[in-house]
Chains A and B, each alone.
Chain A
Amino acid sequence: MKTELNNEAAVKAGPNTEGMNQEQLRQLEEGVSLKIDRNKDFSNAPSVLRGEGVTRIFTTGKTRTVAVDHVNFNFHKGELISIVGESGSGKTTLSKMLLGLLEPSDGTIYFNDQVRDISTGAKKRAYWKGIQAIFQDPFSSYNIFHKIDSVLEDCINLRGGKNLSKQEKYDMMTEACSFVNLKFAELTNKYPFELSGGQMQRLMIARIFLLKPEILLADEPTSMIDACSRATILDMLLKLRDETGMTVIFITHDIGLAYYISDAVYIMEHGKFVEQGPAEKVILEPQAPYTKRLISDVPKIHEPWDLSTVG
């Protein structure tokens, strides 16, 4: 059943671009592709978030679980850090402590070289102007009773734009949406659940664009999104970092993704950082046995996948 349909004339005529907007045209032309500057050196950049001996212990009855065990870290301004670990390694507990949702049992966290103080509600809110998060599941990140307009308006108010006129707010929201390739005019008066998963995650990034925090904590932001649209989300995060000099902390279990996008990688096992350093070094020349195992257990394309290493 070898049929060959060839529209030679049509092929020469080029793509049918009728009714497409500028952004779609650009995407069709060159595709959404990530360009990452690999030669940045962050060792002299100012530190935005630093931890010394950060520990969290959960006790239930007589059992004592050390979820995060004396970890030290230093995140620089504008750096993209990945924290990689399997389930149960303590990465979520650590991220909750970074966000100030959980108190560390021991250790100190420094924010902009000052000891972080979130003892009162007002201080907490002030801290959250500096750090924001994107979570894994966009479907459960929104209040279902709030329209998209109020989601975005809250961000403007939080940044001190409470007294701006309606038109000014509208313009800001439109700008934020166009940054993530959404059209605000189509979204206004809609609820977040009317959007697809990818659109919701992009709206999350639009929020971050309005808030412009110093630190963004992204907890598996692409794990519920298809691989083929993953690059779009990553591209927006990177664009945001380049524009605002934001520090991005990426929490993930996908070591391939961590390797691709990060400047620095921290490998976490049983609540400890077993290895940390520049991505190139940690992934290509792993020292810790755990890192070696993690990398060897991921199926690869160019190197053979050795199945005999597991029992």
Chain B
Amino acid sequence: MGKIMLEVNQLTTKYVTRANEDVYAVDHVSLKIEEGKSLGIAGESGCGKSTLALSLIGYYFPPLHYMSGDIIIDGKNISGLDPDTVRKSVLGTDVAYIPQAAMNALNPTRKVYKFIEDVIHAHGLDMTNKDIYDMAHKRFEEVGLPEEALLKHSVELSGGMRQRVVIAISTILNPKVLIADEPSSALDVTSQKMVIKMMREMMDKGMVKSMIFITHELPLLYNVTDDIMVMYAGQIVEKGTAKQMVFDPVHPYSRGLMRSILVPEAGTRDVKLTAIPGTPPNLKHPPAGCRFADRCKYAVPACKVNAMPIMEFEDNREYRCGHSVQHLREVYEHEDRAE
């Protein structure tokens, strides 16, 4: 077992709405990532994926508030630090974050290498601008970006190139954890593949020690990350390796997600595509029992009463459901046979 790069224990954060209501968007989330590993987070929009990312980098500006729990990056507990300290001492070196629309955030009036100078200066490192340029050049070469990109303005670059430049800038200080929130969703499939290839190379070369990859695209997660975690209404409902999650999901919601995958492969046309009826619960007043119970095909009256803790089963897998794993598997097997 490798060194643990990121450990999160029972992290809870909330949004406070204008009417002073609490919305727990991240509710007792625990996770662990070892060195050299990547974790994918999947779920439908509004399930708390992006809020989890913001919470992990300590971005606690209203309306987002930290409630409880620990975030430990390589032995250093960063939970509860104020956002300013986090920006100066944690962002960039311990954890780097690529938000959804990162590539549009580059200032169009400045050249790309200037942004790298900014990063170095913000961390108070003693380097001349020449040193910084050489370092940036070397890094760009390593990740397969042309040197010209450094001397251009961001508007002169294509979308895929811009996104790769942003990733290179944010990881210039070799962060221990890279959090990528839908880094490739706005791109064409070919550019997406280039971005993914670059991120994989950075992991392999140790420029980034571990990664959290957030997306709603399951085929992508399956190909990129080692483990997958499914979130629903602010909670983790299932966790396992990518293979286990795609071919043997246990939680009814994960199963629903996995059955909505459409890929251009022989045989997919014969699979029955199913939808999960209904909408997620309103988190202002979360249901007392299982949060998925209202949409669950296998729900029983007790599900609406008893809130379930997340439970371990088999090797390092976890799920949150009132039914036993064996029972769920039997039901699924029966259904598959009926088709």
Chain A residues in contact with chain B, CB under 8 A?
Answer: 1-7, 10-11, 13-16, 24, 27-29, 31-36, 38, 86-87, 196, 198, 226-232, 234-235, 253-260, 279-280, 283-284, 293-295, 297-303, 305, 307, 309-311
Contacts and interface: CB of A to CB of B under 8 A. Distances in A.
B312 A232 contact: no
Question: Which 8 pairs, one residue from A and one from B, show the smallest C-beta to C-beta distance?
Answer: A231-B275, A256-B262, A10-B302, A32-B275, A226-B44, A27-B277, A7-B302, A297-B189
B157 to A, nearest CB: 15
Interface in B164-210: 188-190, 192-194, 196-197, 200
B261 interface: yes
Interface stretch (B31-39, B105-113, B214-222): B214-222
B277 A260 contact: no
A24 B277 contact: yes
A301 B275 contact: no
A226 B45 contact: yes
Contacts of B324: 4, 6
A301 B263 contact: yes
A205 to B, nearest CB: 14
B128 interface: no
B316 interface: no
A16 B265 contact: no
B45 A297 contact: no
Contacts of B298: 15
Contacts of B277: 24, 27-28, 31-32, 232
A299 B297 contact: no
B124 interface: no
Contacts of B264: 255-256, 258-259, 283, 295, 298, 300
B272 A35 contact: yes
A4 B261 CA distance: 31
B279 A196 contact: yes
A87 B192 CA distance: 13
Interface stretch (B51-59, B90-98, B135-143, B303-311): B303-311
B126 to A, nearest CB: 36
Contact of B311 (A2, A35, A234): A2
Nearest to B300: A10
Contacts of B246: 301
B18 interface: no
B144 interface: yes
A11 B323 contact: yes
A92 B193 CA distance: 24
B16 interface: no
Given A15-B297, A256-B263, A300-B265, A310 B190 contact: yes
Contact of A234 (B190, B267, B273): B273
B2 interface: no
A35 B269 CA distance: 10
Interface string B35-77: 0000000001100000000000000000000000000000000
B214 to A, nearest CB: 15
B122 interface: no
B20 interface: no
B274 interface: yes
Contacts of B197: 307, 310
Nearest to A87: B188
A132 B93 CA distance: 53
A299 B222 contact: yes
B273 A34 contact: yes
Contacts, number: 169
Given A256-B263, A307-B193, A310-B193, A228 B311 contact: no
B152 to A, nearest CB: 18
B268 interface: yes
A235 B275 contact: yes
A16 B299 contact: yes
Nearest to A181: B277
24 contacts: A1-B312, A5-B322, A10-B301, A15-B299, A16-B299, A24-B278, A28-B297, A29-B297, A31-B276, A35-B272, A36-B269, A86-B188, A87-B188, A196-B279, A198-B279, A227-B257, A256-B263, A256-B264, A258-B264, A284-B266, A301-B222, A305-B223, A310-B194, A311-B194
Interface in B228-287: 246, 256-257, 260-269, 272-279
B327 interface: yes
B289 to A, nearest CB: 10
A10 B276 CA distance: 23
Given A5-B308, A231-B274, A300-B263, 16 more contacts: A2-B313, A10-B303, A11-B327, A13-B301, A16-B304, A27-B277, A226-B44, A228-B256, A232-B277, A259-B262, A260-B269, A295-B264, A298-B219, A298-B264, A300-B219, A302-B263
Contacts of B299: 15-16
Contacts of A259: 262, 264, 268-269
Contacts of A32: 274-275, 277
Nearest to B308: A5
Nearest to A233: B275
B319 to A, nearest CB: 12
Contacts of A294: 189-190
B67 to A, nearest CB: 21
B190 A260 contact: no
Given A5-B308, A229-B276, A280-B269, A86 B190 contact: yes
B78 to A, nearest CB: 25
B260 A299 contact: no
